[in-house]
Structure 1
Amino acid sequence: MQVAEAYFFHDYVCDFWDLTKQMGITDAVIPLTSLMEGPAWGVENLSKVKQMYENEGLRVTVIENMPPSNKIKLGLPGRDEEIEYFKTLIRSMGLLGIPVLCYNFMAEIGWFRTSMNMPTRGGALVSGYSRQAMEALPLTEYGHVSEEQMWDNLKYFLERIVPVAEEAKVKLALHPDDPPVTPLRGISRIIRGAEGLQRAIDLVPSPYSGITFCQGTLATAGEDIPSAIRQFGKQDKIFFVHFRDVAGTSDNFYETFHDDGKTDMLEAMKTYYEVGFNGPVRADHVPTMAGEPNHYPGYEIMGRLFGNGYMIGLMEAAGYKREKSHVQTVK
C-alpha cells in the first residue's frame, strides 16, 4: 500500500510538504496546476509540476482532477473537444510515468455538501448533507437529465478514452458520485454505489479501467465495505483508495473522524491486505480541529495528521509493512 497525501490546497512548496515527509509519506496526489502558458494537461506543464514535487522528494502517483468535462458528462456540443483534452492528459501522464488518473462522472455539481461546519467530537468541524436542504434548491440551467442520458454519455466517453489509457498504460480510477443520491437539482447521478461502479467499468472492459474506492461514499450508500473491497479487489479494479468514514444515511449524513464512523476500519484494512491491494491510498475528508480556520473544509492540516497516523497504524495491524527511514543517531 502506497500512503499518499493530496496537495489540492498546498500545491506549492511549503511546510505541509515537510510535514508529509515527516510522516513517512512520499507519494503525492496532485491537481492539474498551470505553472506555464498553455493547458495544464499538456506534457510540458505537467513535466514541470512533476519535477517540482520530485525536487522535494515527493513522487507524483495520482492526478485527482480533470480537464473541463461538463460537456462530456451532459452530452453537449463541444464534448469531443473536451475528450481531446483528456487524451492529451493521459498521454502526458504516460510519458511522465504518472500511473493513476482519478476522475468522476458527476455533471455540473461535483462533490457536494449542504453544510461545511457541523460540530462533531470535541467541537471539531466536519461537512454534512441534508436531503431536505438540498431539495430546497432549484434546478440547474440544464433542467432534468435522465439516468439513461448519463449512461449513454459515459459509454461514449469511455469508448474513446479507454484505448488511449491502454496505449499510455495509465489507470482510469472512477470515483463514485458524492453524495450517492439522485437526482441533484434535476441532474441524475448514476455511480451511486457498487452496482453503478461495476456497470461503469463493464461498459468498456479493460485492465486500465477501474475505480477509486471511496470508503466514505460507499458507506454513505449503505454498502458493506469489506464485501465491496472483495468484489472489486478480486477483479484487480481498485486503483486508488480514499480512506474515510461517515455517520448517517445517504439522506442525512456527516463526516467523522477516521475512528468514529460507521465502518469497522480495521476490518476494512485487513480486507485490502487480504485481496492484495498495493496501490495508493490517502486519508480523505478530515475534521477541522481546534485553532484551525476551516478555510479548507475537509483538508485542514491537523485532521490530516490524525487521519494519516490512524491509517498507518491500521496498515501495520493488518499486516502491511512500510519501509522505515534510517537516520543516524545523534551522539
Structure 2
Amino acid sequence: MIETWRWFGPSDSISLQKIRQAGATGIVTSLHEVKTGDVWSVEAIAERKRMIEQAGLDWTVIESIPVHNDIKTRTGNYLQLIENYKESIKNAAACGVYTICYNFMPVVDWTRTNLMYRLPNNSHALRFEMTDFAAYDMYLLKRAGAVESYSDEVKQKAELRFSNMNDDEREALEKNIIAGLPGGEGSYTRDSIRAAIQQFIDLGTEGFRQNLFLFLQAIIPTAEEVGAKMCIHPDDPPFSLFGLPRVVSTASDAQALLDACPSPANGLTMCAGSYGARGDNNLVQMTRDFGEKIYFVHLRNVIREADGSFYESDHLDGDNDMVGLVEALLNEEKRRYKAADGGEYLSIPMRPDHGHLLEDELHQAGVKPGYSYVGRLKGLAELRGVIHTVSRFVNH
C-alpha cells in the first residue's frame, strides 16, 4: 500500500519535511484557497505539485475538489458548477494527479460534538455524543421536527444535559457542530443552517440520491476520458443528522452508487472510521465485495455506543477489525498485480486518518482537530507494522 498523509497546504503547521520524516511517500491535499465551485487552474495545480515534489513526495490523492451545495440540490447555477467541476478534473489529470476523493454530504462535512474528548491516558480524541447533538438540535438550533428525530431516552438525557450546560459549553458545542471543519465548505449561523437543512429535507432521501447519480452521470465520462479515478467518501457519521438524507452510509448505498454509473472511473474511498461507526457495516466483507473499486483508504478506528455515539480510538484498538481490513486490502492488491497488464492503480493509497492529540502538541498553535502530527505518526507506525506483518502471509 502507498503510505500517504493529509496536508492542508502551505499554511499547514505540519511541514512537508516533517511528513517525509514520518515515512509517508504520498501527499493527500487540496487547493483549499480556491472557492468551492470555482475551476482549479492548471497553473495552481502544477505549482502545488511542484512544491510537493521538491520536498521529495508525490501528490497521490486530491482530497477534495468540494462539491458545491447547489450541485447537491440542483438549484441555482448548478449546471455551470458541474462544468467547472469537470474542468477541474481535466486540469488535475493534465498535471498528473488522477485520484480524486470527494463527498456528497448535505450541509456539513464530518460532524463531531467534542473535539477534545479526554481519554484515560489524558490524550484527546474526537467524539460524537448523541445526547449532546440532540440537545443542540432541540434546544439551541430549535429545528422544526427535531423532537420527533430522537428516542424518548435520548430526549430525556438531552433535556437534562442541556439544563446543566453553561453558556460557554453551549457556545463550544455549537462551534464544534456548525463552525466548519477541515474539508468543509464553510461555516453557518443558526438561521442559515436551518434554511440549508430544510432544503435538503425537502429533497428526501431518494431525491437526494438521484441528484448524486445525476452528478456522477455528468462527471464520470470526463473522468474516464482523462484517466481519473473518482472515489466517494462515505457519510460521517453514517446516519442521519438534523433529519438530513444520507446516501453513502451502507454497503447497499455503495452498490447502488456503483450500479448507477458503471465505469472504472467511478469508485469508493474505504473510510474505516466512517463506515465503521455503524455496527451493521462489515468492513472486511465490504472490502472483499467492492475491492476492485476501492481507490483510496482512510484507516482509523472507533469505539461505538448503543445510542449511536462513538469516539475515535487508537488505530488498532477499537470495534473495527483493522488487521482483517488490512488483510482484505492486501489481498485486493495481490489480485490487481496478478491481473495487471501494465495499468495503473495497482497499489492502494492509504492514510492514517485522524489521530489523538498527545501531550507534546497539547498547547501548540495551529493543530487542526484530528490532524495532530504525533498522533498520526503513532497511527501510521502502528498501521505500517500491521501491513508489513500481514503482507508476509498474503504474499506466500
Same fold? TM cut 0.5: yes
RMSD: 2.2
Counterpart of 2:284? 226
Counterpart of 2:215? 157
- For 1:247, what is the secondary structure of its paired residue? strand
Instruction: Quote how far apart the aligned CAs of 1:11 are.
Output: 3.4
CA distance in 2, matches of 1:61, 1:68: 20
Counterpart of 2:372? 300
| Superposed CA offset, 1:47-72 (max 9, x none) | 11111111111110111022451111
Counterpart of 1:135? 134
Instruction: Quote how far apart the aligned CAs of 1:259 are.
Output: 2.0
Counterpart of 1:245? 301
CA distance in 1, matches of 2:12, 2:213: 39
Instruction: Quote how far apart the aligned CAs of 1:40 are.
Output: 6.2
Counterpart of 1:124? 123
Closer, same or farther in 2 for the Cα pair 1:65/1:134, shift >3 Å? same
Counterpart of 1:173? 231
Counterpart of 1:263? 320
Counterpart of 1:30? 29
> Which amino acid in structure 2 is aligned with residue 313 of structure 1?
G
Equivalent pair of 2:123/2:358 in contact (CA under 8 Å)? yes
Instruction: Quote how far apart the aligned CAs of 1:109 are.
Output: 1.1
> Which amino acid in structure 2 is aligned with residue 116 of structure 1?
L
1:317 aligns with 2:316: no
Instruction: Quote how far apart the aligned CAs of 1:15 are.
Output: 5.9
Counterpart of 1:324? none
| Superposed CA offset, 1:80-126 (max 9, x none) | 12212211110011111112100001011111111111112411111
| Superposed CA offset, 1:230-262 (max 9, x none) | 0111xx100000000000147110101112211
- For 2:361, what is the secondary structure of its paired residue? coil
Instruction: Quote how far apart the aligned CAs of 1:220 are.
Output: 0.7
Residue 268 of structure 2, aligned match among 189, 194, 211: 211
Same amino acid, percent of matched pairs: 32
Equivalent pair of 1:34/1:40 in contact (CA under 8 Å)? no
Equivalent pair of 1:11/1:30 in contact (CA under 8 Å)? no
Between structures 1 and 2, the one with greater helix share: 2
Counterpart of 2:258? 201
> Which amino acid in structure 1 is aligned with residue 103 of structure 2?
N
Closer, same or farther in 2 for the Cα pair 1:106/1:159, shift >3 Å? same
CA distance in 2, matches of 1:121, 1:62: 35
CA distance in 1, matches of 2:115, 2:33: 28
Instruction: Quote how far apart the aligned CAs of 1:293 are.
Output: 3.3
Counterpart of 2:6? 6
Instruction: Quote how far apart the aligned CAs of 1:131 are.
Output: 2.4
Equivalent pair of 2:67/2:103 in contact (CA under 8 Å)? no
- For 1:291, what is the secondary structure of its paired residue? helix
Q: Which runs of 5+ in 2 are unaligned?
A: 144-193, 334-345
CA distance in 2, matches of 1:13, 1:119: 25
Equivalent pair of 1:129/1:253 in contact (CA under 8 Å)? yes
Equivalent pair of 1:40/1:46 in contact (CA under 8 Å)? no
CA distance in 1, matches of 2:120, 2:389: 25
> Which amino acid in structure 2 is aligned with residue 141 of structure 1?
A
CA distance in 1, matches of 2:232, 2:21: 30
> Which amino acid in structure 1 is aligned with residue 78 of structure 2?
R
- For 1:211, what is the secondary structure of its paired residue? strand
Equivalent pair of 1:34/1:45 in contact (CA under 8 Å)? no
Larger radius of gyration between Structure 1 and Structure 2: 2
Paired residues in the alignment total 316
CA distance in 1, matches of 2:31, 2:284: 32
- For 1:57, what is the secondary structure of its paired residue? coil
Residue 190 of structure 1, aligned match among 247, 259, 276: 247
Instruction: Quote how far apart the aligned CAs of 1:12 are.
Output: 5.0
Instruction: Quote how far apart the aligned CAs of 1:73 are.
Output: 1.1
Closer, same or farther in 2 for the Cα pair 1:226/1:68, shift >3 Å? closer
